[in-house]
Amino acid sequence: MTNSKYLLTGSMGCIGAWVLRHLLDRGETVTATDVNLDPIRPRLLLTDSEIDSIHWEKLDVTDSHAVDALVKANSVKHIIHLAGLQIPFCKANPSLGAAVNVTGTVNLLEAARHNGVHGLSYASSVGVMGPDDFYPIKPITDSATLRPSTLYGVYKVANEESARIYWQDWQVNSVGLRPYVVYGIGRDQGMTADIAKAILAIAADKPFHIRFDGDVTMQHASDVANIFIDCASSGYKGAPVCNLRGDVISVSNIVSLFTELFPDHKITFEQGSPLPYPADFDDSGLRKILPSLSYMSLADGIQQDVRQYKQLLENDLIDLDQLNR
């Protein structure tokens, strides 16, 4: 084992890959974990030598003893907890969804409690929210009433409440974060990945149909990863759960922006099919923790991603089959 300042769960996901990118850029040490250690997404952002420099550990977050032992053995000071099953997986197997998403989070909180961890950030979701018309007052604050419509959302509410009790009873510091439509290199799973896939399609000169419309909040994975790192290392005392913001924009206007930037694109979208969540969130709670918080503009993010996707395509490093999934 090694001394690692950070422990990352869910390292093979999109945000996890970007967390690794930024931790390496900051010169930080990290123990990167997941149930499968094939670095498909990290490889999109890291060189082979950078991947080899990372301390990798296979970890099932439902195993409390393994979680505690890993935190202890590596002298971890900050935890970034991203591991979790998404909406369709939780619906298909509720018991496993609860074990990974709820018990797994409790296991990380327990490890933080017993091993002197200074700070923990974890992924909640806008899935804890009800529909847009449930919130007459906008922008929606961190403390707005929660009304999840899926088991996934219920599990995320359980995590937010667990973190609150761990602060109340044992002063375990944590920050929960509620991302919405995350886009960027490595985002390839779930319906909200359609925006990222559309940008990939533009880079590849391929057609793509976005399966929803309506207002969304666009957040680049690079920004979201930095927010997770900064919250875990902020030293903030308490257990707040924070909304993120970014570009609040309709899908039709996103496609119009595509047209402005890349007039020959082949992107369409499904009309009359909004996502079942609000988009106008107040991030003032997060700004209290991270006063210098800023977000990449959507236009800048799109152009940066097209450039990166083209480089990946030129080097045969990205799978275009994802456009059909």
Taking the C-alpha atoms of residue 277 and residue 148, their distance in angstroms, rounded to an integer, is: 10
Q: What is the per-residue pLDDT for 2?
A: 65
Taking the C-alpha atoms of residue 293 and residue 289, their distance in angstroms, rounded to an integer, is: 9
Looking at the domain assignment, is residue 61 inside a domain? Answer: yes
Looking at the domain assignment, is residue 75 inside a domain? Answer: yes
Which pLDDT tens digit goes with each residue over 9-25?
999 999 999 999 999 99
pTM of the model: 0.97
Looking at the domain assignment, is residue 279 inside a domain? Answer: yes
| Residue tagged 């690079």 (tokens) | 222
Which pLDDT tens digit goes with each residue over 44-67?
999 999 999 999 999 999 999 999
How many other β-carbons are positioned within 10 Å of the β-carbon of residue 29?
18
Looking at the domain assignment, is residue 227 inside a domain? Answer: yes
- Angstrom CA distances, 266 to 198, 202, 259, 269, stand at 9, 7, 9, 10
The two tokens of residue 59 are: 């970890």
Looking at the domain assignment, is residue 1 inside a domain? Answer: no
- Confidence band, pLDDT 50/70/90 cuts, at residue 325: confident
Interhelix angle 64-73/104-114, nearest 10 degrees: 40
H helices present in 99-180, as ranges: 104-114, 151-170
Average pLDDT over residues 58-77: 98
Looking at the domain assignment, is residue 222 inside a domain? Answer: yes
Average pLDDT over residues 283-303: 98
Q: What percent of the chain has pLDDT over 90?
A: 98
Looking at the domain assignment, is residue 177 inside a domain? Answer: yes
Average pLDDT over residues 267-286: 98
For residue 16, the domain's CATH number is: 3.40.50.720
Which pLDDT tens digit goes with each residue over 178-227?
999 999 999 999 999 999 999 999 999 999 999 999 999 999 999 999 99
- Confidence band, pLDDT 50/70/90 cuts, at residue 3: confident
- Confidence band, pLDDT 50/70/90 cuts, at residue 1: low
User: What is the number of domains present in the chain?
Assistant: 1
Taking the C-alpha atoms of residue 106 and residue 113, their distance in angstroms, rounded to an integer, is: 10
Looking at the domain assignment, is residue 146 inside a domain? Answer: yes
The two tokens of residue 44 are: 């999109």
Report the amino acid identity of residue 318: I
Q: What is the per-residue pLDDT for 15?
A: 99
Average pLDDT over residues 233-251: 98
Range of the domain at 224: 6-324
Which pLDDT tens digit goes with each residue over 120-157?
999 999 999 999 999 999 999 999 999 999 999 999 99
